[in-house]
Amino acid sequence: MKESEGRPSLDTALRAMAEDEAQLGASAGIEARLLAEVRSIAAARRRRMAIAACAAAAVVLFALWIGSQRFLPSRSSEARVAEVTTDFLPLAYSSVPSTSLQVVRLAVPRTALVSFGLTPPEPLDRTFTDTVLADVLVGDDGLARAVRFVRPAADQEQMP
Amino acid sequence: MNEVEDAQLLERSRRGEESAFSELFRRYQAGIHRYAVHMCGASTGDDVVQETFLAVLRQRGRTDAPRQTVAGYLFGIARHIVLQRLGSRYEPLTESGDDDVSEVASGALTALEHLTRAETIAAVRAAVQSLPLVYREAVVLCDLQEMEYAAAAGVLQCPIGTVRSRLSRARALLVTKLGAVHATADARRQ
């Protein structure tokens, strides 16, 4: 700080002005508006990641679904009683949280069983001898969390 | 301020991290606000701050760090917005050399001797506001924001010598203007 003979210098005067203005700044609403923009960026980023994850999951499912185009609607719980199923086996996105899950039944090639270390059973289903049924757990974000393989029980074979 | 930390805050803000953005905003909003107010008037401060930080967020695709300091980068954006608002009112003056008159300018000001602190601030503020924009900008950045000459040169996109020259001329003008204020006040008293 420059002072000459006790008189205020320009530096001192400018510093006093800077100190006087130190508390001035943008109004509180500006930060709130900008934070909303930050939140929208974060949401868009999450959406992009979810889409990328969905794409990756689609690739996994496609690998499980080679050669099969049949989409079978979910059966009623009574119909499932007479089925033999494996436990749900986790897929790549099993650790991603989801608020709700849906079971989607697919017909997948028998070779998909091998990729999970399972031995393909002898064909019981007369209609789809080259495929097996699988229930895929899909989250509300479209990501597949787990899969289980389904084998109709012997007595189901007799049902129309 | 820690430049590495500033750069990290900037990067995290662009990724949508609220806490990082809040900290970056807290550090720089006041300075940008004051710069805008001095250059364009009190009504523009909020708008310039908002547009500056929105520009930062909307450049989220950028992965490269700013070439200058984060402060210089933010003030550079703010200046761009300010110049857009000023339009033709901001006309670079013809500057010759780096003649340094800072010795004269930083000397004692008898004009301020009998003024209270509040009067001194008011007089200096009025004098700063009456400076041509090019000189006012140098005073605001270097004297009021205490920005280093190199950083100011980055913001103003001119050589450091030009910053020094503008600052010297600005200070000389301030001394002259404050002397005139004193003379006017004396005349009123008599």
Q: Would an 8 Å CB–CB cutoff place A30 in contact with chain B?
A: yes
CA dihedral A138→A143→A148→A149, nearest 10 degrees, is 100
Nearest residue in chain B measured CA to CA from A40: B16
User: What is the reported pLDDT for A123?
Assistant: 57
Q: Would an 8 Å CB–CB cutoff place B188 in contact with chain A?
A: no
Quick one: CA dihedral A132, A133, A135, A138, positive or negative?
positive
Q: Any bridge partners for residue A83, and if so which?
A: A152
Cβ within 8 Å, pair A31-B25: yes
Q: What is the nearest CA distance from B160 to chain A, expressed in angstroms?
A: 20
Alpha carbons B158 and B89: distance in angstroms, whole number: 19
Q: Would an 8 Å CB–CB cutoff place B62 in contact with chain A?
A: no
User: What is the reported pLDDT for B19?
Assistant: 92
CB B39 within 8 A of CB B133: yes
pLDDT in tens, B17-59: 899 999 999 999 999 999 999 998 888 899 999 999 999 888 7
User: What is the reported pLDDT for A113?
Assistant: 77
Q: Any bridge partners for residue A137, and if so which?
A: A103, A146
User: What is the reported pLDDT for A145?
Assistant: 85
User: What is the reported pLDDT for A6?
Assistant: 45
CB contact set of A69 (below 8 Å; sequence gap of 6+): none
User: What is the reported pLDDT for A1?
Assistant: 40
Q: Taking the model in full, what pTM does it have?
A: 0.61
Interface test with B, best of A23, A27, A34, A45 (most B CBs within 10 A): A34
CB A74 within 8 A of CB A104: yes
End-to-end CA distance of chain A: 98
Tokens, residue A107? 């017909």
User: What is the reported pLDDT for B65?
Assistant: 53
Alpha carbons A90 and A148: distance in angstroms, whole number: 9
Alpha carbons A156 and A153: distance in angstroms, whole number: 5
Which one has a higher pLDDT value, B68 or B145? B145
Parts of chain A with a pLDDT under 50: 1-7, 155-160
Cβ within 8 Å, pair B117-A16: yes
CA dihedral B59→B62→B65→B70, nearest 10 degrees, is 0
* Domains of chain B, earliest start first: 3-89 (1.10.1740.10), 102-189 (1.10.10.10)
